[in-house]
Amino acid sequence: MDGFILVHKPQDFTSHDIVLFVRKILSVKKVGHFGTLDPMATGLMLVAVGKATRFFPFFLNADKTYQGKMRLGFSTDTYDAYGKQTSEEDNNYPNKQKLLENMKQFEGTIDQVCPPFSAKKHMGTPLYELARQGQKMELKTKKVRIHYFRLLNYASPFVHFTVKCSSGTYVRSLVHDLGQKLGCRAYLAQLIRTNIGNFHQNESHSLEDIEMFFRKGMKDKFLIPLASILPEYPSLFVEDNTASMIARGRDILDISALKVVPGDTGRSQTGIIQENIYRIFDKRGKLIALAKKNLSQESLHPFLVINPADNNL
């Protein structure tokens, strides 16, 4: 079984829990996810099954969108509701105008430090393990992009917001840093991921529904097949002899006679379209490779080959 599953992650599940669940229910060994969600967070997870895990590079930099709730007044060691309070309660909450002005200052490209309690590793050890041992690490900043950081509702001490950000952004850190800037401190009280690229949580399925559909033999209800991945890229349809060449990783030297179907850029899944990449299908409509066009030679080089013989979609 190969394809993507849009999973709605429940609260208190780790991202690894979701992978283990899908692996067990579908009896598939090769399962991965594109973007970790903290246990406290809920919402959309993009899970890849089988050969779909090889599409990871295309979704690595896909933007994420969240809706969340922060609590003003004090900070926690994990930067969220699961942590221990690390500052005295401060009821000197900002007015709405000051809050808006400070949120605006975080938009654009900013330097961010990941939370001390996170799965990011230092010399092979997750930071949360080092933090639990009381070890304090001086962490490097990294640049992330905040496309927008918008206020949805403010009823002190709670702030409801939405944020669209680059992959790798820690919303917990964003909230913590805002609290520091406001002077009253803050932590993340709730978080829902609504989008990965152009995938939306409304398209996602609960773990219970995935199990039910699978047991009823209705995998089409939850599985996005390989042939439907990356519809923004043009499709090339080839005869069996050419498909055999591609399966061996050989370049296609003459593409002038191949049937080409333009990509549907309006249905881009990643939101980021690379130039001169094609999806290659056999004459039966099965995806067999992704290829990059060599503009100088008018040839195609297959860089991700899927064996058509065992593509069981």
Q: What is the pLDDT of residues 263-281, one digit of tens each?
A: 888 888 888 888 889 999 9
Categorize the per-residue pLDDT at 108 as very low, low, confident or very high, splitting at 50, 70 and 90. very high
Q: Which residue has the higher pLDDT, 126 or 238?
A: 238
Asked whether the predicted pLDDT for residue 130 surpasses 50, the reply is no
Dump pLDDT digits (tens) for 59-88: 988 999 999 999 999 999 999 999 999 999
Are 52 and 169 in contact, with CB atoms under 8 Å apart?
A: no
Dump pLDDT digits (tens) for 135-185: 565 667 889 999 999 999 999 999 999 999 999 999 999 999 999 999 999
Task: Please indicate, yes or no, whether residues 55 and 119 belong to a single structural domain of this protein.
Answer: no
In a domain, 194, yes or no: no
Task: Please indicate, yes or no, whether residues 123 and 271 belong to a single structural domain of this protein.
Answer: no
Q: Which residue has the higher pLDDT, 23 or 115?
A: 23
Q: Which residue has the higher pLDDT, 300 or 65?
A: 65
* CATH code, domain carrying 111: 3.30.2350.10
Please identify, among 164, 188, 212, the residue that sits at the C-terminal boundary of a domain.
188
Asked whether the predicted pLDDT for residue 200 surpasses 90, the reply is yes
Over residues 237-259, mean pLDDT: 82
Please identify, among 136, 163, 188, the residue that sits at the C-terminal boundary of a domain.
188
Percent of the chain residues past pLDDT 90, beyond the cut: 68
Which residues are designated catalytic? 38
* CATH code, domain carrying 277: 2.30.130.10
Order of strands, sheet of 235-238, starting from the edge strand that comes earlier in the sequence: 259-261, 235-238, 277-282, 287-294, 299-305
- The count of structural domains within the chain is 3
Asked whether the predicted pLDDT for residue 34 surpasses 80, the reply is yes
Residue 165 pLDDT: 97
Two tokens at 195? 């989008």
Characterise 196 by phi-psi region: left (phi > 0), alpha (psi -120 to 50), beta (else): beta
* Helix, strand, coil percentages for the chain (3-state, nearest 5): 25, 35, 40
In a domain, 97, yes or no: yes
In a domain, 193, yes or no: no
Mean pLDDT for all residues in the chain = 89
Are 127 and 120 in contact, with CB atoms under 8 Å apart?
A: yes
Residue 311 pLDDT: 40
Q: Which residue has the higher pLDDT, 78 or 115?
A: 78
Over residues 283-288, mean pLDDT: 90
Domain that holds residue 79: 64-188
Residue 123 pLDDT: 45
Task: Please indicate, yes or no, whether residues 203 and 178 belong to a single structural domain of this protein.
Answer: no
Among 186-190, 227-231, 249-253, the least confident range:
249-253
Task: Please indicate, yes or no, whether residues 55 and 86 belong to a single structural domain of this protein.
Answer: no
Distance CA 18, CA 45 (A): 9
pTM: 0.88
